[in-house]
Amino acid sequence: MKQPENIGFVSTRFAGTDGVSLEAAKWAEVLWLGGHVSYWYAGVLDRDPGVSLCVPEAFFDHAENAWINSQLWGRTRRCAEASRRIRELTEYLKSTLYEFRARFDLDILIIENALTIPMHIPLGVAITEFLLETGMPAIAHHHDFMWERQRFQISAVDDYLEMAFPPRVPHLQHVVINQAAREEIAWRKGLPSILVPNVFDFENPPGEPDDYAADVRHALGLLDDDLLILQPTRVVPRKGIENAIHLIRRLKLPRAHLVISHNSGDEGMEYARQIQHLARDEGVPLKFFGDRMADRRQLNQEGQKVYVLSDLYPHADFVTFPSLYEGFGNALLEAVYFRKPLVVGRYSVYQRDIEPKGFRLPTIDGVVDQRVVEECRCIIQDADYRRQLTDHNYRVAGRFFSYRVLRDSLRSMINNIRNLTE
């Protein structure tokens, strides 16, 4: 990277522990180490106000955008009022993007998923028009496309989807997080893209747990000799948590508890109820810990500690990640980073982008068979074998999914942008 630039990150939200917010923070950290300064634009922000522009209307769940969305999906005709309000909100948001550029003297924009999944049509259109009007160089970091979600398949907004999700802009570089997405964006949109996987800071291993996190087992109601099996995800169907329960039942290990780190989020409680019933029927002790988890340490209204995910990993004896679908799979890298043994579902991105790198992990391929049960039991009970596996996986991840990989990719992208705009 040559002359440092001012980088503007744009999305609907930069807050909490969602994948977009976390990966954007990693990009900003690597850019900072290269001398670049990052600034933030979104509808909900937990960044420093001194380097941010918070525009509430840019949040995907803002009342105006929620009304617009109610008129667009699951139907093929939109009313004139919806068209008018899309245009009005687009013009307003575009004016705030001009303000964002001017306030922080920005050189490059990095758009995080706002040109990818159409949860905020006016924002995507505003960004596209802003780029076309200004010629400003930009990178679109795509996490999950509209064609990957069933609810976006029938719409009354195909014109804007074609225009902006994602758009064809000469000075806009497209970045995807897996090979399948790279092929789909080329086939559906005729757009070239760069594959940059999600990463973790494997060059700097985690330190020992501090005093704040020392009482996690007590907070969970576990004894020192209880087996803490961590499911570090939200409670949503695509996480395949039923397979974690089936696995623990078949392991038949005494005092084994399944701990799910996060709540359901915005996808409802029905799956959580099903998981509770299944765990009870199969005799698997289950603990939901989402009410004591957040994106930062704090105290809740009852004066109890609230933890972050990195507080839980050091106490875990084993990690389950039996997902059926993932855009990438950050929890897998997190478990490897904390040198924790884990079992993983062979979701498509894992099979294609992660497994060939040489990880040594027990896998669930559709069903929990005797092979994976025996392998997991051996890992849990044999400390030397477990250490060999976790050290090997850490080395593999450091080679393919480290900050160094991201640093090299960002350097190349920024140099490409310079060449496009010179």
pLDDT in tens, 301-318: 899 999 999 999 999 999
Mean of pLDDT values over 182-207: 95
On the question of a common fold for 6-199+403-421 and 212-400, the answer reads yes
At residue 123, what are phi and psi to the nearest 5 degrees?
A: -65, -45
Task: State pLDDT tens for residues 24-56.
Answer: 999 999 999 889 999 999 999 999 999 999 999
Predicted confidence band of residue 421 (pLDDT cuts 50, 70, 90): low
Q: Is the pLDDT of residue 265 over 80?
A: no
Q: Is the pLDDT of residue 270 over 80?
A: yes
Mean of pLDDT values over 92-106: 98
Instruction: Answer whether 327's CB lies under 8 Å from 299's CB.
Output: no
Mean of pLDDT values over 173-196: 96
Mean of pLDDT values over 221-235: 94
Q: Which of 142, 72, 135, 138 has the alpha carbon at shortest distance from 114?
A: 142
Q: In the block, which residue shows the tokens 């005799």?
A: 283
Residue 180 has what pLDDT? 94
Residue 149 has what pLDDT? 86
Predicted confidence band of residue 420 (pLDDT cuts 50, 70, 90): low
Share of the chain above pLDDT 70, in %: 98
Mean of pLDDT values over 386-405: 97
Residue 107 has what pLDDT? 94
Lowest-confidence pick of 36-45, 68-77, 410-419: 410-419
Residue 394 has what pLDDT? 98
Give the C-alpha separation, 190 to 13, whole Å.
28
Predicted confidence band of residue 4 (pLDDT cuts 50, 70, 90): confident
The first and second tokens of residue 252, run together, are: 């038949």
150: alpha, beta or left, given left = phi > 0 and alpha = psi -120 to 50? Answer: alpha
Q: Is the pLDDT of residue 3 over 80?
A: no
CATH classification code of 6-199+403-421: 3.40.50.2000
Residue 206 has what pLDDT? 92
Q: Where are the alpha helices (DSSP H) in 190-329?
A: 216-220, 241-251, 270-282, 309-312
Extents of the domains making up the chain? 6-199+403-421, 212-400
The first and second tokens of residue 277, run together, are: 């019933």
Predicted confidence band of residue 2 (pLDDT cuts 50, 70, 90): low
Residue 1 has what pLDDT? 43
Q: Which CATH class is domain 212-400?
A: alpha beta
Predicted confidence band of residue 18 (pLDDT cuts 50, 70, 90): confident
Give the C-alpha separation, 300 to 122, whole Å.
36
Mean pLDDT rounded to a whole number for the chain = 94
Predicted confidence band of residue 288 (pLDDT cuts 50, 70, 90): very high
Q: In the block, which residue shows the tokens 């030397």?
A: 384
